[in-house]
Amino acid sequence: MAMQMCNRRVTQATTKLVRQLAKSVLMKVEDNHHDDEYTRIPVPKTSTVKTIVSMYKYLLHDNASVTTGLNTALSIRHAHTDIQIPNFDYYRHADDNTVLYSYLTPIGMAITSTYIAKYMIRGKNAVFKWRNKPIFVRHHTPQEIIREEGVNVSQLRHPRNDSERVQKPEWVIVIGICPHLGCMPIANARDFGGYFCPCHGSHYDASERIRKGPAPFNLEIPQYVFKDDSTVVIG
């Protein structure tokens, strides 16, 4: 390897074959030649090529283990003091107001439910909320009562008589969640005059029994009791 040198300088020379493995060698060049001559820099013969075999003794080849404990000092701390967390105190309500609201809401819902159920027209439906679940209340007409009592339960997927699903023939109370995938059916739709699930096509009759579609069971009946002819308590 030869290069033209104009002034006294310190240069680094590496061989082409060991450029990626060998370290650079510092050499001082004596500039005692003319400008039109070349300076020849000899490459030291003591440089050795470092291979995986020669470097094996410097590599980690034993089983490594890490020890930690309460008395062991750790060099890495995953703690940050420059992260700012937003403050939502301005938007929070007082605890006493929240507790008062949680007690008054069921009372108001019970009063509203009693009032609406008392004046429900026969053949109509109403939806209430109980334990974050929709409650379907249907006021049957005399024709619906006769029709649902005459259904052959042996042909049903989930066989139940109408008398097993009601405490009073004119009132049907169920949880409005489709047992297929948890959708909410709509009232007075499709083939059997009851509820219909628009998500996957489950049909229910007026007694909320599954008649057609993928739902495996009838609509669930919650625990309830009639206090009088116009008042019902669920739960």
Show the tokens assigned to 37: 């001559």
| Catalytic residue (one of 34, 158, 200, 203) | 200
Is residue 64's pLDDT more than 80? no
CA 149, CA 177: separation in Å to the nearest integer? 23
Tens-digit pLDDT profile for residues 128-155: 888 888 888 888 888 888 888 888 888 8
Show the tokens assigned to 215: 């739902």
Tens-digit pLDDT profile for residues 70-128: 666 655 556 666 667 777 777 766 655 555 444 444 444 544 444 445 566 777 788 88
115: alpha, beta or left, given left = phi > 0 and alpha = psi -120 to 50?
alpha
Confidence category of residue 205, pLDDT binned at 50, 70, 90: confident
Confidence category of residue 38, pLDDT binned at 50, 70, 90: low
Give residue for tokens 């619906």: 144
For position 12, what pLDDT does the model report? 42
Confidence category of residue 184, pLDDT binned at 50, 70, 90: confident
CB 141 within 8 A of CB 194: no
Q: How large is the average pLDDT for residues 177-194? A: 84
Please provide the DSSP assignment of 33-68 as one string.
S-TTSPEE-PPPTT-----TTTTGGGS--SPP----
Is residue 2's pLDDT more than 50? no
Is residue 209's pLDDT more than 50? yes
Confidence category of residue 1, pLDDT binned at 50, 70, 90: very low
Find the distance separating the first CA and the last CA of the chain, reported in whole Å. Answer: 96
Of 235 and 226, which is predicted with more confidence? 226
Domains parsed from the chain with CATH numbers: 8-58 (no CATH), 95-234 (2.102.10.10)
Q: How large is the average pLDDT for residues 61-66? A: 64
Of 222 and 228, which is predicted with more confidence? 222
Q: How large is the average pLDDT for residues 190-213? A: 85
CA distances from 32 to 5, 8, 43 (A): 10, 9, 19
* Active-site residue flag, 200: yes
